[in-house]
């Protein structure tokens, strides 16, 4: 009887396998037929437009527009990268390019000037300064060219020469430089140092190629300079990058072989488990990780894995919530497809993806609804949640800069004022951590702004205008006239009033730019850390050992 039962079971399984195989083959055949038919239709459309459309249309443009249209309803990270954009994509991916090592900006008069020479690059070594105005490149007048055109002429194969003429910001004279282009590497880890005794601080901006080595070098530098008792990792505004680099960075703080992220997609190739593989260099020291709403992707893998494994306390605001993985696929003729192929899951098993793109209908993606948010557990049993990014263990209120200060900065008035400031103070001694302009310097800035236009109206003023209009339409203007007039008088939106109201923010922007001119971007980060409230909160937490350990042992994160 038992043998007959086994035979029956085997027979049913065989039938199921045959039926499943046949169905799979039929499905695959139908799928291939559908794909072939749709490709033929697409090619026919392209041929007809290219041949018969009333105006001539370049086939390259048709292809690019068609590819972009096809991908536009998937998610914002999937993209077609044609040959013409490949160089820019590689710069973003690797942080490296061939050039003179300077960022540039356009002034209000449409002239293009040096915005920042990177430390140690050809532009810096030659003596180029922030504010130098480009006059010619290789003998060709560039005073009427755009930023992109000038940038294109400055970039090139490392080892090649370029002749640049500028009008010096310091004396207004024409200066010529014969520069040899170099391989410029924009650091992913631009700053490391001690913020107080025993507490190290590392700023990590992105996960471009080589950032693991940079992070390792930064930690070893701190260890060589003093006793590294604890460490703050700053991942605020880090938009991510390479998943492999993120795993390697985690190796610095975790034992070899620790499972830190799992990637799951539709295919076998897109499903993988990643474990740390390098020997740690800071396995035991207490860590605090800073995040904010712009911390995304690889930075969420690092901060989330350290949280899930109870290896670090996370401080700041909820992160962005990007749990998708992109694969770069060459598709011929120097074109590339950046395709979302998987979701990633950190050690607790949660995925931090915040937006649902599965509809593929072109509508704005929706947040994962609260009803679908699931609870997970860290290594110590603390509650954490999926679907909405990384929630910090210690929440900090977001500090916003005023719209007036942003408008003022974007108009370039601060940079223009500082051009004159550095001419007056060419040998200024800048103490990076303590530098601040004087009260007289700020009064000079207010005087400089006297004849400048700042198109700004506060949201409170705009709301008052709406209220006044509504009161008039509803016939309440007579009743409320006195109150609205008094409110309007209290709401001072005059330029000088705003310059004084928002002085602290504007002064910070000025101070940062002065430090940039004398101490590079590295100096700006050190200067900012000295007065950063979240850095101060992290220091306080690391010095309170009992509170730090209590958080890691028993404090749940908030669900919302």
103-112, long-range: CB within 8 Å, 24+ apart, which pairs?
A: 104/134, 104/147, 104/150, 104/151, 104/154, 105/147, 105/412, 105/415, 106/146, 106/147, 107/412, 107/415, 107/416, 108/411, 108/412, 110/144, 111/143, 112/142, 112/145, 112/146, 112/147, 112/150
Relative orientation angle of helices 243-251 and 298-308, to the nearest 10 degrees:
40
pLDDT of residue 29: 58
pLDDT of residue 37: 85
pLDDT tens digit string along 366-380?
888 888 899 999 999
Residues 192 and 211: their CA atoms lie apart, in Å, by: 13
For the segment 134-160, the average pLDDT, to the nearest whole number, is 96
Per the model's pLDDT, the better-predicted residue between 348 and 29 turns out to be: 348
Residue 396 has pLDDT above 50, yes or no: yes
User: Tokens 């509504």 identify what position?
Assistant: 470
pLDDT of residue 43: 84
Per the model's pLDDT, the better-predicted residue between 68 and 136 turns out to be: 136
pLDDT of residue 196: 97
Rounded to two decimals, the pTM is: 0.86
For the segment 151-173, the average pLDDT, to the nearest whole number, is 96
CB count in 10 Å sphere of residue 363: 9
Per the model's pLDDT, the better-predicted residue between 30 and 215 turns out to be: 215
pLDDT tens digit string along 117-140?
999 999 999 999 999 999 999 999
pLDDT of residue 503: 95
pLDDT of residue 23: 39
Residue 9 has pLDDT above 50, yes or no: no
For the segment 17-28, the average pLDDT, to the nearest whole number, is 40
Spatial CA neighbour of 395 closest among 263, 293, 279: 293
Per the model's pLDDT, the better-predicted residue between 55 and 20 turns out to be: 55
Residue 240 has pLDDT above 70, yes or no: yes
Spatial CA neighbour of 368 closest among 325, 322, 326, 327: 322
Is residue 376 packed enough to be buried (19+ CB in 10 Å), middle (13-18) or exposed (0-12)? Answer: middle
Tokens for 154, please give them.
Answer: 């400055």
Spatial CA neighbour of 356 closest among 346, 371, 376: 371
For the segment 181-190, the average pLDDT, to the nearest whole number, is 95
pLDDT tens digit string along 80-99?
998 888 888 888 888 889 99
pLDDT of residue 458: 58
Residues 208 and 92: their CA atoms lie apart, in Å, by: 8
Q: Out of 59-63, 140-144, 162-166, 544-548, pick the least confident.
A: 59-63
For the segment 331-352, the average pLDDT, to the nearest whole number, is 94
Residue 521 has pLDDT above 50, yes or no: yes
Tokens for 203, please give them.
Answer: 């700023």
Spatial CA neighbour of 553 closest among 339, 393, 353: 393
Q: What angle do CA 384, 386, 391 make, to 5 degrees?
A: 55
Residue 20 has pLDDT above 50, yes or no: no
For the segment 241-260, the average pLDDT, to the nearest whole number, is 97
Residues 465 and 237: their CA atoms lie apart, in Å, by: 35
For the segment 461-483, the average pLDDT, to the nearest whole number, is 67
Residue 182 has pLDDT above 70, yes or no: yes
pLDDT of residue 490: 59
Residue length of the chain: 560
Residue 345 · residue 325 · CB < 8 Å: no
* Residues whose CB falls within 8 Å of the CB of residue 227, separated by 6 or more in sequence, listed in order: 198
Q: Mapping DSSP to helix (H, G, I), strand (E, B) and coil, where does residue 366 land?
A: strand
Residues 41 and 311: their CA atoms lie apart, in Å, by: 55
For the segment 41-66, the average pLDDT, to the nearest whole number, is 86
Could you give the C-alpha distances from 203 to 169, 200, 234, 429, 539, in angstroms and in order? 31, 10, 5, 25, 15
* DSSP code at position 387: S
**Could you tell me the pLDDT band of residue 25, with boundaries at 50, 70 and 90?**
very low
- pLDDT > 70 in the chain, percent: 88
For the segment 483-510, the average pLDDT, to the nearest whole number, is 79
**Reduced to 3 DSSP states, what percent helix, strand and coil does the chain have, rounded to the nearest 5?**
45, 20, 35
Residue 51 has pLDDT above 90, yes or no: no
Q: Name the average pLDDT for the chain.
A: 89
* Residues whose CB falls within 8 Å of the CB of residue 325, separated by 6 or more in sequence, listed in order: 243, 263, 265, 270, 340, 341, 342, 343, 344
Per the model's pLDDT, the better-predicted residue between 123 and 11 turns out to be: 123
Tokens for 257, please give them.
Answer: 């072989």
Q: Residue 400 half-sphere exposure, CB side, CA atoms within 13 Å?
A: 4
Residues 62 and 55: their CA atoms lie apart, in Å, by: 13
Residue 289 · residue 306 · CB < 8 Å: yes
Residue 27 has pLDDT above 50, yes or no: no
pLDDT of residue 120: 96
Q: What angle do CA 539, 541, 543 make, to 5 degrees?
A: 70
Handedness of CA 151, 157, 162, 168 (dihedral sign): positive
pLDDT of residue 364: 67
Residue 306 · residue 253 · CB < 8 Å: yes
pLDDT tens digit string along 297-322?
999 999 999 999 999 999 999 999 99
Residues 349 and 297: their CA atoms lie apart, in Å, by: 16
């Amino acid at each position: 009887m038992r043998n007959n039962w086994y035979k029956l079971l085997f027979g049913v399984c065989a039938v199921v396998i045959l039926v499943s195989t046949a169905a799979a083959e039929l499905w695959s055949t139908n799928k291939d037929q559908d794909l072939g038919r749709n490709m033929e239709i697409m090619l026919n459309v392209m041929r007809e437009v290219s041949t018969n459309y009333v105006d001539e249309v370049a086939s390259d443009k048709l292809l690019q527009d068609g590819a972009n249209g096809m991908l536009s309803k998937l998610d914002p990270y999937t993209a077609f990268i044609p040959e013409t954009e490949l160089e820019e994509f590689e710069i973003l991916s690797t942080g490296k390019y061939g050039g003179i090592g300077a960022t540039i900006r356009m002034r209000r008069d449409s002239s293009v000037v040096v915005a920042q020479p990177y430390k140690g690059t050809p532009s810096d070594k030659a003596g180029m300064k922030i504010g130098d105005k480009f006059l010619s490149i290789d003998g060709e007048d560039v005073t009427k060219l755009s930023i992109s055109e000038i940038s294109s002429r400055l970039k090139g194969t490392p080892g090649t020469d370029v002749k640049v003429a500028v009008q010096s910001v310091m004396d207004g004279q024409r200066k010529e430089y014969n520069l040899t282009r170099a391989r410029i590497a924009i650091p992913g880890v631009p700053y490391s140092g001690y913020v107080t005794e025993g507490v190290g601080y590392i700023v990590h901006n992105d996960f471009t190629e080589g950032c693991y080595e940079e992070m390792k070098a930064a930690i070893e530098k701190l260890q060589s300079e003093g006793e590294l008792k604890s460490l703050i990792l700053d991942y605020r505004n880090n938009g991510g990058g390479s998943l492999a680099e993120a795993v390697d960075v985690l190796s610095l703080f975790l034992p070899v072989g620790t499972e830190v992220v799992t990637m799951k997609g539709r295919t076998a190739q897109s499903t993988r488990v990643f474990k740390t593989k390098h020997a740690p260099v800071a396995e035991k020291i207490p860590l605090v990780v800073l995040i904010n709403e712009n911390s995304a992707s690889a930075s969420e893998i690092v901060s989330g894995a350290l949280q899930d494994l109870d290896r670090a306390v996370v401080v700041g605001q909820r992160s962005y919530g990007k749990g998708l993985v992109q694969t770069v696929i060459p598709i011929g003729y120097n074109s590339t497809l950046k395709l979302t192929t998987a979701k990633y899951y950190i050690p607790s098993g949660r995925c931090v993806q915040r937006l649902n793109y599965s509809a593929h209908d072109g509508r704005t993606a929706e947040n994962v609804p609260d009803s679908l948010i699931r609870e997970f557990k860290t290594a110590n049993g603390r509650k954490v949640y999926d679907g909405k990014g990384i929630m910090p263990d210690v929440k900090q209120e977001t500090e916003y800069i005023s719209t007036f200060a942003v408008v003022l900065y974007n108009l370039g008035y601060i940079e223009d004022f500082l051009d004159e400031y550095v001419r007056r103070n060419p040998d200024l001694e800048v103490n990076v951590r303590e530098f601040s302009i004087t009260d007289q310097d700020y009064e000079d800035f207010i005087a400089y702004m006297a004849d400048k236009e700042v198109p700004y109206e506060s949201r409170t003023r705009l709301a008052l205008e709406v209220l006044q209009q509504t009161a008039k339409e509803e016939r309440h203007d007579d009743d409320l006239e006195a109150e609205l007039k008094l409110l309007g008088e209290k709401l001072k939106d005059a330029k000088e009033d705003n310059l004084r109201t928002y002085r602290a923010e504007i002064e910070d922007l000025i101070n940062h730019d002065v430090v940039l001119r004398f101490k590079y971007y590295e100096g700006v980060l050190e200067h900012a850390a000295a007065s950063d409230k979240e850095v101060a909160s992290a220091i306080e937490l690391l010095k309170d050992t009992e509170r730090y350990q209590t958080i890691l042992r028993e404090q749940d994160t908030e669900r919302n």
